[in-house]
Amino acid sequence: MLGYANAAFDMLKRSEIPPYPPFYELLYTYATGINPSLNNRINAIFRSGIPPSADLAETLYNEFLKSDLNERMSSVSARMHARISAVNEAIDGAMVTASAYSGALQAASDDLEEDLEPQAMRTLSLRLLAETHRMQETNRQLEVKLEASREDIAALQRDLDDVRRESMLDPLTKIANRKSFDEGLADAIDDARRSGEPLCLILLDIDLFKSFNDTYGHQTGDQVLRLVAMTLKSNIKGKDLAARYGGEEFVAILPSTDLRGALIVAENVRKAIQAKELLKRSTNERLGRISASFGVAQYRPAEAAATLIERADRCLYAAKHAGRNRVVAESELVEIEEVPAKDISMV
């Protein structure tokens, strides 16, 4: 995780690309290798000798990473604006008609203060009746437009909810994405601070995933990512949140769960992942089994989210150093870190 971030920053420093968030996201994605099409394009650019630039980075970002969610959000916003404008026009028209009707009533009141001949009284009555009918028709049209607007706005609200839900999901694994995780962890920490209930974090990384990808291809690797995501999600419950943290790393937020309970959850997930035998769908080739390493940490009062994540990350890499396919909690972190570090470049 830190290696990917450092690689992205190094590429930004070496190039003429400004360190804007979209460009960092672009190079971070390249560093993780989770988007083969993007990596192939960037590798081809490197081989061609084309100097990197902000314009080139923006082109690549728009092609490979920019979601259509922004366009859909803009469309919903435009429709909402048009509907609100229509409602305002209808209300303005009704107010003009109401003002005219009020004026007609005032004029009729003035006329009635005088002695009117029967014919003049009849004319006045007809005029008031016509004004009343016009006011009634205007109100009827306003009601129709408001009802239509109510239905349209309800539909627009559903569209906005759909867009928001999609923006919070990882497009490959269909579980929560990094943005959703960040918000979920912040909310969980706030709840833990208020209630005093425990809160734990599980961070897991698929063992030797890069080697697996290189051997069997990215499409098969994507299937593994989906499998791990669904396995993680199916082994948590309630207010727990499973998310893809980045690349082959996943995370689970466990509110109202202490370290002992979180260790049980992590161990169940580890066993479930290891128990699944992989089969390449296109050839029915048996690919063996995969495993994952886990780090588990419990929230400490008043600490920042980044500190909790860092501790879970240290536990995860301690599990890697200790031989992979195991769960390490912060309670055993010192003991594990004393084991001589192994080469985990292909974690």
- The catalytic residues are 248
The Cα–Cα gap between 98 and 92 comes to 10
Measured distance CA(312)–CA(251) in Å, rounded: 10
The pair of structure tokens assigned to 70 is 């922004």
Cα separation values, 188 from 161, 184, 273, 299, 316, Å: 22, 6, 26, 10, 21
Smallest Cα–Cα separation from 299: which of 284, 288, 289, 310?
Answer: 310
Place of tokens 């001589």: 340
Q: What are phi and psi of 202, to 5 degrees?
A: -115, 125
Q: How many CA atoms lie within 13 A of 152 on its CB side?
A: 18
DSSP symbol at 52: P
What CA–CA distance (Å, rounded) separates 207 from 209? Answer: 5
Cβ proximity of 33 and 39 under 8 Å: yes
Element housing 323 (H / E)? none
Task: Determine phi and psi for 155, rounding to 5 degrees.
Answer: -65, -40
Six token digits for residue 283: 């050839």
